[in-house]
């Protein structure tokens, strides 16, 4: 009885549409798992970087703090610190452009926000694939099931035999397409939710780091949470 069921039978006995649906679902599954694995590794890496970013504020000066952040150009905390430094230096040394009419606080805020937004876009890339797979895979599998059942019923009607042993095999094979669609969609949905939560944690720490950098470049000190006016000074580079 087992030989009458299975994905292999669906492939060998199915027509072009059935095979195309199966290939599409397999491709969607591979794409979603690739995104899940790659983005999970990215989130773990950025969480580790975020934990070590606090060492920046225990440095004697900005240059030493930047050194503690490492030399990885993909480090968003390092990028944010460099962008804030360059924005502050640009504002203080030039007055040639219209945007230099902004005060230093607004200009540094704008520069830091642009860097955070660029990193956010990079961090969230690929999530649209998981969202699309999670929302469409069950319906694609259902389409394969309906198509398979339709052709199974046509074949049974042509043969003129409608006994249970003749119906169970083709119908059961068609239902495999629905199961395949769910097997593709469920990991994509769970992976999407987990990555969104991980991204929010990283971005929260990056935004907090950017807030501290803004206070440092504008006032020369980092604002702490132990009081409304409590600051921790750090020498300029």
Q: Using 50, 70 and 90 to split pLDDT, how confident is the model at 3?
A: very low
Say whether pLDDT at 161 is over 50. yes
pLDDT at 163 over 90: no
> What does the mean pLDDT of the chain come to?
80
- C-alpha distance across the termini of the chain, in Å: 77
H or E element that contains 29: helix 16-52
Displacement of CA 228 from its chain's centroid (Å): 36
Determine the average pLDDT of the residues in 31-46.
Answer: 94
pLDDT at 128: 93
For residue 228, the model assigns a pLDDT of 44
Structure-token match 């072009």, residue found = 16
Give the confidence band of 186 by pLDDT, cuts at 50, 70, 90: very high
Q: What tokens were used for 233?
A: 């000074």
Judge contact between 139 and 181, C-beta under 8 A: yes
Task: Give pLDDT, residue 229.
Answer: 39
Tell me the three state secondary structure of residue 61: strand
Asked whether residue 12 carries a pLDDT value surpassing 80, the answer given is no
pLDDT at 13: 62
In this predicted model, which residue has the larger pLDDT, 113 or 162? 113
3-class SS letters over 219-234: HCEEECCCCCCCEEEC
Phi and psi at residue 163, to the nearest 5° = -70, 160
Q: How confident is the model at residue 18 (pLDDT cuts 50, 70, 90)?
A: confident
Which residues touch 19 (CB under 8 Å, ≥6 apart)?
Answer: 11
pLDDT, residue 72, reads 83
Residue 41 has pLDDT above 90, yes or no: yes
What pLDDT was estimated at residue 20?
A: 87
Provide the pLDDT for residue 44. 93
Confidence of residue 129 (pLDDT cuts 50, 70, 90): very high
Judged against a pLDDT cut of 90, whether residue 188 lies above it is answered with: yes
Report long-range pairs for 189-192 (Cβ below 8 Å, ≥24 apart): 189/130, 189/134, 191/32, 191/35, 191/36, 191/40, 191/130, 192/127, 192/130, 192/131, 192/134
Name the least confident of 91-105, 119-133, 143-157. Answer: 91-105
225 or 78: whose pLDDT is higher? 78
pLDDT tens digit string along 204-218?
Answer: 999 999 898 888 887
Q: Residue 167: what pLDDT?
A: 64
């Amino acid at each position: 009885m087992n030989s009458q069921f299975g994905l292999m039978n669906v492939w060998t006995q199915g027509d072009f549409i059935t095979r195309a649906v199966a290939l599409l679902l397999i491709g969607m599954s591979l794409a979603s798992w690739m995104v899940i694995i790659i983005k999970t590794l990215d989130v773990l890496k950025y969480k580790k970087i975020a934990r070590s970013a606090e060492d920046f504020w225990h440095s004697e000066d900005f240059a030493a703090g930047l050194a503690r952040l490492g030399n990885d150009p993909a480090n968003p905390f390092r990028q944010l610190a460099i962008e804030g430094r360059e924005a502050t230096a640009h504002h203080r040394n030039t007055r040639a452009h219209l945007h230099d009419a902004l005060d230093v606080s607004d200009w540094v805020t704008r520069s830091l926000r642009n860097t955070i937004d660029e990193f956010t876009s990079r961090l969230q890339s690929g999530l649209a694939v998981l969202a699309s797979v999670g929302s469409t895979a069950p319906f694609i599998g259902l389409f394969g099931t309906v198509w398979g059942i339709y052709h199974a019923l046509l074949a049974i009607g042509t043969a003129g035999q409608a006994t249970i042993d003749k119906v169970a095999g083709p119908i059961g094979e068609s239902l495999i397409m629905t199961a395949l669609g769910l097997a593709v969609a469920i990991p994509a949905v769970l992976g999407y939710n987990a990555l969104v939560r991980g991204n929010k944690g990283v971005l929260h720490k990056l935004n907090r780091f950017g807030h501290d950098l803004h206070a440092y470049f504008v006032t020369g000190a980092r604002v702490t949470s132990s009081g409304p006016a409590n600051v921790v000074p750090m020498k300029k580079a």
